[in-house]
Chains A and B, each alone.
Chain A
Amino acid sequence: DTAVSQTPKYLVTQMGNDKSIKCEQNLGHDTMYWYKQDSKKFLKIMFSYNNKELIINETVPNRFSPKSPDKAHLNLHINSLELGDSAVYFCASSHSGRAGEQYFGPGTRLTVT
């Protein structure tokens, strides 16, 4: 069984569109994250979400918004897509009260044309 899953795996869209990436974890974790891996392969935290508390990295544009319908899901919504949003987006989860080991999804490659 996949621990952290993301859909879609690939997403190609045009500038100005709005898109969503879904993330689900079946590990019973209470904290979920979104990371962005840029073209130079550098990974950077975008959001963390724990018990309805959202922590946002200050560099993330407000066009990006995470939505959590329940503890097992944290979806990423992106409005008015720009060329610079092209990257691989990774979802992760952890249990904040324990070791905090993070488990990552397979990633979603977003290409904005």
Chain B
Amino acid sequence: KQEVTQIPAALSVPEGENLVLNCSFTDSAIYNLQWFRQDPGKGLTSLLLIQSSQREQTSGRLNASLDKSSGRSTLYIAASQPGDSATYLCAVTDSGGGADGLTFGKGTHLIIQP
């Protein structure tokens, strides 16, 4: 059974710093990995999707890496801003095409101090 762990559970950093959020998964047989952000009381916004054959994806100040063999992914946020404050969720789709849905981690609650 797939399990996803995110470290740290919470993180508070001053504005402008670069930071890394970590995600690990127990079964490396994944189809893809997705990073989301969730603002309080809101839905999930997809940030980056990495296919199992890819090593990284970039979008603006965000860079996500994937090391499938070791069961790890990182989300790098450059030059953090107060608007980046949110909960960041990592989720994997097990191989088989996604019919079983995403398995989520419990998230990293990020606060960027102005």
Interface residues of A (CB under 8 A from B): 31, 33, 35, 40-45, 47-48, 50, 53, 55, 57, 90, 92, 94, 96-97, 99-107
Contact segment of B11-19, B21-29, B62-70, B103-111? B103-111
Cβ–Cβ contact A45 & B99, under 8 A: no
- Complex-state Cα separation, A62 to B16, whole angstroms: 49
Cβ–Cβ contact A48 & B99, under 8 A: yes
CB distance from A28 to the nearest CB of B (A): 16
Cβ–Cβ contact B42 & A106, under 8 A: yes
- A to B contact number (C-beta, < 8 Å): 70
Chain A binding surface SS class: strand
With A43-B91, A48-B100, A99-B49 given, can you name 9 additional A-B contacts, CB distance below 8 Å? A33-B101, A35-B101, A43-B104, A44-B104, A55-B101, A57-B101, A100-B32, A101-B34, A104-B43
